[in-house]
Structure 1
Amino acid sequence: MITNKRTIGDTHSKEFVLDCIEAGITAAHPKQIVEDTISVEDRILFVEDHEYQLDEYDNVVVVGAGNAAGRISQAIESVLGDTLTSGAIVTDDPVECEIIEMYRGTHPLPSRACVNGVNCIQSLLDDSHGQTLVIAVSAGGGSALLSLPHRGIGFDELRAVTESLLHSGAPIDEINVVRKHLSQVKGGQLAAAAYPATVVNLVLCDVVGDDIGTVASGPFAPDSSSFDDALEIIGRYDIPVPPSVHTVLEQGELGALKETPCQSNDVFERVHHHVIGSGETALHAARKMATERGITAEILSSQVEGEASEAAKFHLSVANEVIQSKEPFQPPVVILSGGETTVTIEDSGNGGPNQEFCLSAAIHLNNPDITVGAVDTDGIDGNADVAGAIIDSATVGPDDLPSAREHLQKHESTGYLASKNATVKTGPTGTNVNDLRVIYIQDTAGDSPSVNSAHSRKPKSE
């Protein structure tokens, strides 16, 4: 999976951290998640502890969007067999299916290709009725991939606002409030299109707190936000918007445009939500990998947010406390965290939150007993073609500090980390359950993971 593992895992500690990262991503892979949570037996669809009688439906349709939506749908098609009638998925990682149509879109910025797939999804939902079972897939990356601008807004204008939002430093839930109100499909609007069909919304969660209304901007979930909220967010972050966008939001605020459907709306009467995977899936698998190697592992939090560079300082302060006072954990120990940090960019940059996390940590790290790895589980960190990075006390030496600090200040983390052979490359992983951070703290005796570790194994990609 980590394609450059052999070259970047040049110490036992780094290789161990990379093993934990791989374990987390593997556990969150759609094929594994579907196998663990979805099955069909005697014409009954089982999703976790819920049952759906397939004989009650004339049509079974699969629709959705996200980085992992293609692979989730492929696994669902295998489970359903000839029960499946039709389907359409928008993803940046399309796979081959017999019945479900795959539309290649783009992420993190939308493209016109996304619109073609969304139009097909809408057509399928418009044809649904009370005897239709809609299996919806909502996954990380779906907010960009599920793009159909509100009437009155051009596609290029939507893309420009999206780019400004992503550079603003706003948390994803606020970004998606704006996205919902510039869209014809987000914020529960696909649930309205599907009504009165039964909808089984399968959510692969990539947001803090597993908020189904934020994942893919909640196309099948109730929305409690408003046009007024969207305007307030744009103003607070001083986000430039084209006149057409401002006009739509102002018309919505005045009540001239229909609001996104809220919880009390009838369109949600037959919508059932299932979070089939999340950041905790990856965290628990990474913890299991560490403990199987004889190293205690602790989950610090699955809900880390804020500026990536500041989050790194906090994580490093915990690691230093472990070494100095043996609190709150006894070394050797692995500290794990998930969530989604951000990077506020004023001009331009090349990198992503996980690389910036690692570069900030490396600048402040001077203890050889600490190794830090951080990745975006979808394999794409920010605007770079890498998943994240792995660092130790040798990544930024005394002579490197001026250059490292300049790269961090300019948000050019990829350039510096690549020069130090510290970027983690996976390519598209087929999943997206947010960020995964692994911090391995040895004790002063230099305890290492048990000998049956990956030190004697080749990386899966080889």
Structure 2
Amino acid sequence: MRQKLLESFRFALEATHPYRLTRQALPQTPPTHVLALGKAAFPMLKAVSDAYGSVPGLGITRYGHLEPSVRLPGVELLEAGHPVPNEGSLRAGERVLEFVGRLSPTDHLLVLISGGGSALVSAPWGISSEEKQALSRALLASGADIQEVNAVRKHLSRLKGGRLAAATQARITSLLLSDVPGDDPSVIASGPTVPDPSTFAQALEVLERYGIESPAREHLERGARGELPESPKPGDPVFERVENRLIGAARHLLEAARSYWEGLGYRVLVLSDRFVGEARELARFHAAMVQSIREAGQPVPPPVVLLSGGEAGVRVRGSGKGGRNQEFLLWLACFLGEGGVWAVACDSDGIDGNTEAAGAVIHPKLLSGSRRLKAKQHLANNDAYGFFKAHDSLVISGPTQNNLNDYRVIVVE
């Protein structure tokens, strides 16, 4: 069963590969320029290069996500930090502003956006780069969801929240790969070419809600008082020359997984592609679903494969290593105890949390004997990685060039 779980992950990733999704969605007329931001920037740019030949372009992606042996004529490629912006992110931000700022109204800019763009391209506004890095770490550790995190990011940036569109005169076509639950274009990579419905006041509320102290408060307070210009809102004339198109999302990843498991003869139930919340509470829900299926045949009788996606959160209290998918799985195993299941949970980009693992696999006997107590000790230190590594349960895929959020499969025999 472990092999089937891993094969399903690979199958879904291949079916939704950014190259494939981008190639299918490209405009018929070649653009004059191309800009790619995010973890999937390289395969999206390769699709453009294979379709049109040499197009002047700029691509920014995460370290380790390039293919050094593949050349993209006419494209400048930069690498930067994720999930916390670094010096590479700052250089990328300035280069993007320079690149789009020299385009004219007769130019057609194709923008390829995928998850990770918020950290990879940084153009701070109102705070220093060091202060922005510290704030990014605090937000990631707070348990805030991606909508809340990006509301803050968009009001501390010269690029996010539609400001990239406002920074150029070119006509823009944006192709978006979603890594956010609900697929709101204004949240994907903080919506650089999308109208921003959030406000300075809402960004300030996020800091207050999670008790985050930062020099950014002064900037956000000024904006909330109307002393600074808001991000471009829906209806702003700048978006009359912008088309934003969603070309891939978590639901496509789960539909690919459905076809894999149905091909093996399993009944499949897709629970949702947009789960959010604490990994622990999502695990509790999934465990209750497993128990209901086993004991009452509700909502469907076993055997059945449960699929779900979205983005769990983790409020970090310990000093261990892990990620939201590993934490979800270990809590799931704890809630089910001796009545465990086969399951896999991975981040589709191949990197879960602060580890080199994409996620992990659990099996029905994982927490037999005294292991349940040990698992809870690891969870108390946010160290699911340490537990799974000790039990040879990690999934190591390396960077996948994909980024359509979390991938969870539970097999209820």
> Which among 307, 312, 319 is matched to residue 278 of structure 2?
307
Question: Which shifted more, 302-311 or 250-259?
Answer: 250-259
What amino acid is aligned across from residue 2 of structure 2 in structure 1? Answer: K
Query: In the alignment, is the contact (CA less than 8 A) between 1:389 and 1:423 conserved in 2?
Result: yes
> Which among 265, 268, 273 is matched to residue 236 of structure 2?
265
Flag the 1:369–1:348 CA change in 2: closer, same or farther, 3 A: closer
Query: In the alignment, is the contact (CA less than 8 A) between 2:37 and 2:120 conserved in 1?
Result: yes
Q: How does 1:228-377 map to 2 (within 5 A)?
A: 228-241=201-214, 243=215, 245-366=216-337, 370-377=341-348
After TM superposition, give the deviation of residue 332 of structure 1 in Å: 1.8
After TM superposition, give the deviation of residue 240 of structure 1 in Å: 2.1
Matched, 1:71 2:43: yes
Matched, 1:216 2:204: no
Query: In the alignment, is the contact (CA less than 8 A) between 1:339 and 1:435 conserved in 2?
Result: yes
Distance 2:220 2:349 in 1: 32
Q: How does 1:112-151 map to 2 (within 5 A)?
A: 112-150=87-125
Give the match's secondary structure for 2:256.
helix
* Structure 1: stretches of 5+ with no match in the other structure: 1-12, 39-44, 47-52, 443-462
Q: String of CA shifts for 1:406-443, please: whole Å, max 9, x gaps.
A: 1112111100111111111111000100001001111x
Q: How does 1:74-93 map to 2 (within 5 A)?
A: 74-82=46-54, 84-92=55-63, 93=65
Distance 1:215 1:260 in 2: 16
Q: String of CA shifts for 1:159-200, please: whole Å, max 9, x gaps.
A: 0000000000011000100011111110000010123x2111
> Which among 384, 396, 411 is matched to residue 355 of structure 2?
384
Distance 1:173 1:80 in 2: 35
Matched, 1:24 2:37: no
Question: Which shifted more, 92-101 or 184-193?
Answer: 92-101
After TM superposition, give the deviation of residue 403 of structure 1 in Å: 1.2
> Which among 393, 398, 404 is matched to residue 422 of structure 1?
393
* Structure with more relative contact order (C-alpha pairs < 8 Å, separation 6 or more): 1
Larger Rg: 1
What amino acid is aligned across from residue 106 of structure 2 in structure 1? Answer: Q
Flag the 1:326–1:438 CA change in 2: closer, same or farther, 3 A: same
After TM superposition, give the deviation of residue 368 of structure 1 in Å: 5.9
Q: How many residues align?
A: 409
Residue 158 of structure 2 aligns with which residue? Answer: 184
Query: In the alignment, is the contact (CA less than 8 A) between 1:65 and 1:91 conserved in 2?
Result: no
TM-score, structure 2 as length reference: 0.95
Distance 2:345 2:279 in 1: 11
Q: String of CA shifts for 1:243-282, please: whole Å, max 9, x gaps.
A: 3x22211221222221111012111111111111110111
Q: How does 1:388-427 map to 2 (within 5 A)?
A: 388-427=359-398
Query: In the alignment, is the contact (CA less than 8 A) between 1:94 and 1:103 conserved in 2?
Result: no
Q: How does 1:439-454 map to 2 (within 5 A)?
A: 439-442=410-413
* Structure 2: stretches of 5+ with no match in the other structure: none
Q: String of CA shifts for 1:271-321, please: whole Å, max 9, x gaps.
A: 111111110111011110111111121211111111101111211211122
**Identity value in percent:** 36
> Which among 10, 15, 24 is matched to residue 36 of structure 1?
24
The alignment's C-alpha RMSD in Å is 1.5
Distance 1:34 1:126 in 2: 25
What amino acid is aligned across from residue 388 of structure 1 in structure 2? Answer: G
Distance 1:27 1:16 in 2: 16
Distance 1:343 1:119 in 2: 32
What amino acid is aligned across from residue 129 of structure 1 in structure 2? Answer: S
After TM superposition, give the deviation of residue 36 of structure 1 in Å: 3.2
Give the match's secondary structure for 1:440.
strand
